[in-house]
Amino acid sequence: MAEVLLFHHALGLTEGLRLFANELRQAGHTVHTPGLFEGRTFDSIEAGVAYADEVGWDEIIARGERAAHALTNELVYAGFSLGVMPAQKLAQNRAGAKGALFFYSCVPVAEFGGWPAGVPVQIHGMDADPIFMKEGDVEAARELVESADAAELFLYPGDQHNFADPCLPSYDTAATKLLTRRVLEFLARCQ
C-alpha cells in the first residue's frame, strides 16, 4: 500500500480532513497528517491565509519539509489548497517521490524547478471555483498535465473550493465520492 504525506488547507487540520485521511487508511494506506499551523484552525480561508502570511510562506513550506524528513522518501505527497505548496515542492524536489495529489490548487511547475520524470500526479478542482479557476491554479494544472509523463486534471461541476471536507458547508457529496474513488485508484498504482 502507499504511504501518503497529506497537508491541510487554510482552515487547518480540520476534522473533515482527518476523516478523509482515515478513509485512505481504511483502504490500507499509511497517511501522515502534520499540522502546518501548529495546531491552529480557522473559520475562514481568509483567516488561515492571513496566518500563513504572518508566519511567512517560506516557513509554512519549511514546516512541510520538516515533517517529510522524519519519513521515508518513497511517499505520495498530497495537499489541499494551501497544503499544495509544500506537497508540490516536495514532490518536485525530494528524491523518491511515488506520486502527488493536489486538491483545489496547483502552483506553476517552474516555481520549484521541473517536474520529475516518472512521478504521476492528479489535480482535482471544481470547474467554477473562483479560487481554482481565476487565480492561476487551473492554468498551472494544465501546464503540469502537458509537461508531465503521467498527469491528470479532474474538474468537477460546482463552484466550491473546499468541496471534499465533509465538515464544511462547501462539501459536495457526489464530487467527493468520485474524487475519493479516483484517489484510491491512483494510490493503488503508486505502491
Over the stretch 105-119, which tens digit does the pLDDT of each residue have?
999 999 999 999 999
Res. 156: pLDDT tops 90: yes
The DSSP symbol for 114 reads P
Half-sphere exposure of 118 (CA within 13 A, CB side): 4
What letter would DSSP give residue 36? T
- Alpha-carbon span 97 to 13, nearest angstrom: 23
Question: With 90 as the cut, is the pLDDT of residue 158 above it?
Answer: yes
The reported pLDDT for the residue numbered 110 is: 96
Q: Could you tell me if 81 and 49 are in contact, meaning their C-beta atoms sit under 8 angstroms apart?
A: no
As its CATH architecture, domain 3-189 has 3-Layer(aba) Sandwich (3.40)
Q: Where are the domains of the chain?
A: 3-189
Residue 24 phi, psi (nearest 5): -65, -40
What confidence score (pLDDT) does residue 50 get? 97
User: Where does the pLDDT of residue 178 fall: very low under 50, low under 70, confident under 90, or very high at 90 and above?
Assistant: very high
Q: Long-range contact list for 70-76, CB < 8 A, 24+ apart?
A: 71/3, 71/5, 71/32, 72/3, 72/96, 73/97, 74/3, 74/98, 75/3, 75/4, 75/5, 76/2, 76/3, 76/4, 76/5, 76/100, 76/101, 76/187, 76/190
Confidence of residue 149 (pLDDT cuts 50, 70, 90): confident
Q: What pLDDT is attached to residue 92?
A: 97
**CA R_g for the chain:** 15
Residue 191: its pLDDT value, please? 80
